[in-house]
Structure 1
Amino acid sequence: MAEIDFMSVVHKSTQRDYLARVNDPEFPKEKAAELAKKFDFDYWDGDRRICYGGYRYIEGRWEKVARAMVEHYQLPENARILDIGCGKGFLLYDFLKVLPNAEIYGIDSSSYALENSKEEIRSQLTLGNATSLPWPDNHFDFVYSINTLHCLHAHELDKALREMQRVGKQYKYLCVESWRNQSEKANLLYWQVTCEAFNTPEAWQWWFEQTDYSGDHSYIYFE
């Protein structure tokens, strides 16, 4: 298990006004969170003060992440890849630019996201939950989950980490939100709308050990 940063290139491209978000008069944090946690239109394509404010495919944005993963793990041309919390499938779609012969699969709990996913790969995406993956043991060459598992409560997080470990062969990677100091903790509380697992890196490490998760990981910090 190693800490590997694939995500800063995407995360740090966004400018954030933490105080404006938490104090917004029309969408105060509790209202924004209530809407966001439905993972429906408001979360993906509604007002930016709720969440993404229009989550659209941008050419090249995710391809650099896919390429970095393929190169780091030396994935074969016909790799079988699973995205847990795939959303609209943008990263999976860009994996095919790097590995055209890969078998890609995604799972997400948002029916809205899947209905509005990349049409070219929609048939490879499944409606479901990270706590119960509908695939056999050791089925995938590479399993990853980005900005998803921190949305789970403790009893769900335990199951999800064990499931991720179960279906993957050797290579696994996850990215979750975290905090290292009180400033980052406050910013995370101000900015997030779906996070339930507010863990420090040390606490995440505890979770990995408890669930026998053996893959790699990285953290999103709100500096």
Structure 2
Amino acid sequence: MGRLLNIVTPLHRMTKRDYLARMNDDKVTCMLKAKEYESDYWDGDRRFGYGGYRYLENRWTPVAKALIETYGLKDGSRVLDVGCGKAFLLYEMKKLLPGLELIGFDMSHHGVADAKPEVRDNLFLYRAQDAYPFGDKHFDLAISLATFHNLRLFELKTALAEVQRVGKQAYIMLESYRNERELFNLQCWALTAESFFDTAEWIWLYNHFGYTGDYEFIYME
């Protein structure tokens, strides 16, 4: 196994969440809408997802800087973002290191279309659970943030294998829990998650499926 990192957690903790309010708001209907992953999910009412996922200057800069430093990226390095959404992270990485070769994909038409113009041409529509159209070790770094918990077990097997295959280095961040309170909060909050596993279970899955890259968990504390 790779390293347990702490890259996104500080950003995650900046957002306040009303867990019970989401659970009590016709959640099944909201889940169905969220799982379309289109405009309602990104920029509709908060009950369907992000409630307006707009670009905020420098919000993703600490994450972008940490990834560049942690993985020794330089001009000419290739980076893949699996489930990139609106690719704000890739945009921030490009601002810090203009010579990066960045590629991202997501299944959301709305997400890709609403990306910053500076990176939009480097994005395409694709699913994280399908075989990736790249050669072995094509990228210096393959990342995926807050995507893989939206996959089912048999889809996870493929996704983890593909990130491992195409990246010389890899980093995955997803939602997990460490205790009953965090599990309850996660079940209340999550609209699109298919896999609810505690930290030990995720690590077991990584080992079972042969993933040896780095990882991080965010928690609904």
TM-score of the pair, normalised by structure 2: 0.97
CA displacement, residues 31-71 of structure 1 (integer Å, 9 cap, x when unaligned): 11000000011110000121100110110011110001111
- Contact 2:171 2:213 (8 Å CA) reproduced: yes
Residue 91 of structure 1 is matched in structure 2 by 89
Q: Tell me how far apart the structure 2 counterparts of residues 135 and 109 of structure 1 sit (CA, whole Å).
A: 17
1:135 paired with 2:134, answer: yes
Letter in 1 for 2:160: L
Match of 2:5 in 1: 4
Mapped to 2, the partners of 1:199 and 1:8 lie a distance apart of: 18
- SS state of the match for residue 70, structure 1? helix
- Look up the SS of the partner of 1:189 in the other structure: helix
Q: Which runs of 5+ in 1 are unaligned?
A: none
Deviates more, 1:115-124 or 1:185-194: 115-124
Q: Quick check: 145-154 or 202-211, which moved more? A: 202-211
SS at match of 2:143: strand
Matches within 5 A, 1:194-213: 194-213=192-211
Question: Which range is displaced more, 111-120 or 155-164?
Answer: 111-120
Match of 1:109 in 2: 107
- Distance in 1, matches of 2:84 and 2:15, equals 20
Who is 1:166 aligned against?
165
Secondary structure in structure 1 of the residue aligned to 2:50: coil
Counterpart AA for 1:74? G
Query: Given that residues 78 and 99 in structure 1 are in contact (C-alpha distance below 8 angstroms), is that contact kept between their aligned partners in structure 2?
Result: no
SS, match of residue 41 in structure 2: helix
2:212 aligned partner? 214
Check whether the contact 1:79–1:103 (CA below 8 A) recurs between aligned residues: yes
Residue type at the aligned position of 2:3? A
Shift, 1:76, TM fit: 2.1
TM-superposed CA distance for 1:8, in Å, is: 1.5
Number of aligned positions between the proteins: 219
The one-letter amino acid of 1:120's match is E
What secondary structure sits across from 1:177 in the alignment? strand
- Write out aligned runs for 1:49-60 (5 A): 49-60=47-58
Q: Which amino acid letter does the alignment assign opposite residue 23 of structure 1?
A: N
Structure 2 equivalent of residue 14 of structure 1: 15
- 1:193-213 residue CA offsets vs partner (Å, 9 max, x unmatched): 000110111111111112211
Instruction: Indicate if the aligned counterparts of 2:23 and 2:188 stay in contact, CA closer than 8 A.
Output: yes
Alignment partner of 1:4: what SS? coil
1:156 has 2:159 as partner:
no
Cα offsets for 1:178-198 (capped at 9, x unmatched): 011111000000000000110
For the residue of structure 1 that corresponds to 2:173, the secondary structure is strand
After TM superposition, the runs of 4+ consecutive aligned structure 1 residues lying more than 6 A away are none
Alpha-carbon distance, 1:77 to partner: 2.1
The 1-side partners of 2:75 and 2:205 are apart by 33
